Amino acid sequence: MVKINTFYVTYLNKSEPILTYEKNDGLNIDLHLQLIALEMKAYTIRFKITNSDGVELLSFNGTVDPTQLFDKQENSNNEAIASIAFFVKMSQEELLGSSRLNFNATIENEVSDVSIFMMKKEDNHG
């Protein structure tokens, strides 16, 4: 049965996980999901983003299908691992002035949550 090994957030096209996001003009991030014990079948991954009040800001589905990488019949008894990323871009208006964002990933019966805090970017000019 598939398991979520790791779920974390990075700045768009970066590899280091973040706990805070400096904002001024919206959100540009990648959601990283590492999966283990994948059977040779397609899986739907559901993502949900909520603010600190529990208001849903965005939800979407993704797919991971290890059968696209291997010969299905040769590997029907094998398990696979996967590391996948989905990008998220949201405008300041879509964020509704949120100070914290909660991310939820669900695949079959596995659920993982991660949060980041939205920090106002300081203006260091002059």
**What's the average model confidence in pLDDT over 8-34?**
93
Domain ranges for the chain: 3-115
**Stronger pLDDT, 76 or 62, i.e. the higher one:** 62
pLDDT band at 15 (very low <50, low <70, confident <90, very high): very high
**Stronger pLDDT, 68 or 21, i.e. the higher one:** 21
109: which 2 tokens?
A: 């019966």
Distance CA 117, CA 104 (A): 15
Q: Taking Cα atoms as reference points, which of 13, 21, 5, 4 lies closest to residue 99?
A: 21
**What's the average model confidence in pLDDT over 25-37?**
94
Amino acid of residue 80: A
pLDDT band at 43 (very low <50, low <70, confident <90, very high): very high
pTM of the model: 0.88
The predicted-structure confidence for 65-101, as pLDDT tens digits, reads as follows 988 766 555 555 678 889 999 999 999 999 988 999 9
- Give the pLDDT score at 78: 75
**What's the average model confidence in pLDDT over 35-41?**
92
Q: Is the dihedral of CA 49, 52, 54, 55 positive or negative?
A: negative
CATH-assigned architecture of domain 3-115: Sandwich (2.60)
Distance CA 46, CA 79 (A): 21
CA dihedral 87, 91, 94, 100 (to 10 degrees): 70
Q: Is pLDDT at 64 greater than 60 in this prediction?
A: yes
Alpha helices in 44-101, H assignment, sequence order: 92-95
Distance CA 126, CA 124 (A): 7
Average pLDDT, the chain: 89
The helix/strand/coil state of 95 is helix
